[in-house]
Amino acid sequence: MSELFKKKYDRTPSDKRDRVPPGQYVAEKFPVLHYGDVPTYHDVENEWDLRVWGEIEAPARFSFAEFRALPTMTITTDIHCVNRWSKLDTRWEGVQFREFLQHIPPLKPSARYVMAHCEHGFTTNVPLDVLLEDDALLAYKYEGEELTPEHGYPLRLLTPRKYFWKSAKWLRGIEFMAEDRPGFWERYGYNNNADPWKEERYAEE
C-alpha cells in the first residue's frame, strides 16, 4: 500500500492492523457493489425459494417459510472486498452452512465444490471445504436487522475467508459439484481462489 493511499484511506486502529489484509483500508460505511439491478419481491413468501441440486442424493427445495424455520446462529467477523475496503466486526445472522447440510439429502462422496446461483444469472464458485468452516453462513440478517435489498435480501452467502464477491447476494440456488468451474466474475478475470491474505484479486496473466 503506497504512503499516499495510506494517508487518504487507511483509518485502521493500530491494535487492529493485523486483521486487515495487504492492500486494504478499513471502511466506516458498508459500500454497495453488485452486478445487475436490485431484485424486488412484492410477495417474498410466495415468490422466493431456494433450490439445491447436483452431487446430492436427491434435489431439495425450501420455501421462504421453510428456510426461515431452520436453526440460526449469529457470528461477528471481518469482511474484505476486492475493491480494497475491509469492514471489521460485522455481525451476521443466518443458517450455518454446515447446519444446512443436516436438512437436505446426503451429499454424494464426489461433492467437492459449490456453485452459488443468484438472481440475474450471477454465479460464484466456492470449495465445499470453505463452506464447512464455522463462519460460513446462509445469511439474512446484518447487525440485527433484515438484509436490505442492496445487500442481498432475502438471502446471501457469507464466506468471510474469501474476498467479498464470493459472498454472493440474492441467493436462489446451491449446486454441489464434483469438479470446480468458474462463476461470473471468475470468468471475467477475477482470481478463482480469492484469498485476501494472499491478495488473490485477479487471475494471473
Q: What is the pLDDT of residues 40-82, one digit of tens each?
A: 899 999 999 999 999 999 999 999 999 999 999 999 999 999 9
The answer to whether residue 55 is domain-embedded is: yes
The answer to whether residue 12 is domain-embedded is: no
The residue among 186, 31, 191, 54 whose CA lies nearest residue 122 is 186
The answer to whether residue 102 is domain-embedded is: yes
The answer to whether residue 7 is domain-embedded is: no
Total of domains in the chain = 1
Give residue 18's pLDDT: 84
The answer to whether residue 146 is domain-embedded is: yes
- Which residues does residue 25 pair with via DSSP β-bridges, in sequence order? 85
Sign of the Cα torsion 145, 151, 152, 153 reads positive
Q: Which domain holds residue 160?
A: 19-198
CATH of the domain at 117: 3.90.420.10
30 in Cβ contact with 85 (< 8 Å): no
Secondary-structure breakdown of the chain: helix, strand, coil percentages, each rounded to the nearest 5: 25, 30, 45
Query: How many beta carbons lie within 10 A of that of residue 5, not counting itself?
Result: 12
For every residue of the chain, which 3-state class applies, written as one string? Answer: CCHHHHHHHCCCCHHHHHHCCCCCEECCCCCCCCCCCCCCCCCHHHHCEEEEEECECCCEEEEHHHHHCCCCEEEEEEEECCCCEEEEEEEEEEEEHHHHHHHCCCECCCCCEEEEEEHHHCEEEEEHHHHCCCCCEEEEEECCEECCHHHCCCCEEECCCCCHHHCCCCEEEEEEECCCCCCHHHHCCECCCCCHHHCCCECCC
Per-residue pLDDT of the chain (205 residues; tens, 9 = 90+): 444 444 455 556 555 678 999 999 998 888 787 667 899 899 999 999 999 999 999 999 999 999 999 999 999 999 999 999 999 999 999 999 999 999 999 999 999 999 999 999 999 999 999 999 999 999 999 999 999 999 999 999 999 999 999 999 999 999 999 999 999 999 999 999 999 999 999 986 4
Give residue 6's pLDDT: 47
Give residue 104's pLDDT: 98
Sign of the Cα torsion 139, 142, 146, 150 reads negative
Mean predicted lDDT score pLDDT of the chain: 91
**Where do we find the cell 412484492?**
42
- pTM, 2 dp: 0.90
The answer to whether residue 140 is domain-embedded is: yes
